[in-house]
Chain A
């Protein structure tokens, strides 16, 4: 079962920041927070990941609370092409772990960016 909770849907105006929340209150020390998105009819696309520090790349920023129980994915200037399902996933990257680093997807958040 997925270990994260996300709102089922969100809207955002084009050009504005999209802030997608995720709750992962049972996250353990070996687990990272990963974000993927899936645009209709395509395979999931990696966005960003982090352990406890805030992270930024060319696609997005990831803000993780100090207690690591929640995080927020920020798309700073959303475009229509950012309309997708966004998945927040906690992942154990310990190579010796029994989860073998696999991603367990929940239902995600459907983000709709409108003009």
Chain B
């Protein structure tokens, strides 16, 4: 696609359930980032992928959060045993990361509400 695509755009889940959020980066982009934005808060870095590897997972808030990337393309962010404080917009972004053209482009986010 032309831009970063995320699904679902909205998700309401019950506390304690697991959720999966999907990101399709821009075609050919090797770098992929996940961010989180809680209501009224700034953007918080979660994890970075280069290809299928995640050299920087420093932003994942707890071991309930995990992410994977397959085929150097699609990424899935999984939140296990969701809590109300997990309610936020989860944003995915991608970049060519050639060292020359490396602008990061964001998707529209997945809005997660835990009730």
Q: Using CB atoms and an 8 Å cutoff, list the residues of chain A in contact with chain B.
A: 42-46, 49, 93-95, 98, 100-108
Query: Does B48 lie within 8 Å of A43, measured CB to CB?
Result: no
22 A-B residue pairs with Cβ-Cβ distance under 8 Å, sorted by A, are A43-B91, A43-B93, A43-B109, A44-B106, A45-B106, A100-B48, A100-B50, A100-B55, A100-B56, A101-B31, A101-B95, A101-B102, A102-B45, A102-B56, A103-B33, A103-B43, A103-B93, A103-B104, A104-B45, A105-B35, A105-B42, A108-B42
Query: Does B56 lie within 8 Å of A44, measured CB to CB?
Result: no
B106 contacts across to A, CB distance below 8 A: 43-45
Q: How many A-B residue pairs have CB under 8 A?
A: 51
Interface size (B, Cβ < 8 Å)?
Answer: 25
State the Cβ distance, A93 to closest chain B Cβ, in Å.
5
**B107 sits at the interface (CB 8 A):** yes
Summarize A's interface: helix, strand, loop or mixed. Answer: loop
Q: Using CB atoms and an 8 Å cutoff, list the residues of chain B in contact with chain A.
A: 4, 31, 33, 35, 42-45, 48, 50, 55-56, 91, 93, 95, 97, 99, 102-109
Summarize B's interface: helix, strand, loop or mixed. Answer: strand
- Which residue of B97, B108, B109 is within 8 Å of A101 (Cβ)? B97
A104 vs B35: C-alpha distance in the bound complex, in angstroms?
10
B93 contacts across to A, CB distance below 8 A: 43-44, 103
A45 contacts across to B, CB distance below 8 A: 106
| 14 other A-B residue contacts (CB within 8 Å) besides A43-B93, A45-B106 | A43-B109, A44-B106, A94-B99, A95-B99, A100-B56, A101-B31, A101-B95, A102-B33, A102-B56, A103-B45, A103-B93, A103-B104, A105-B44, A108-B42
Which B-chain residue is minimally distant from A107 (CB atoms)? B42
State the Cβ distance, A70 to closest chain B Cβ, in Å.
21
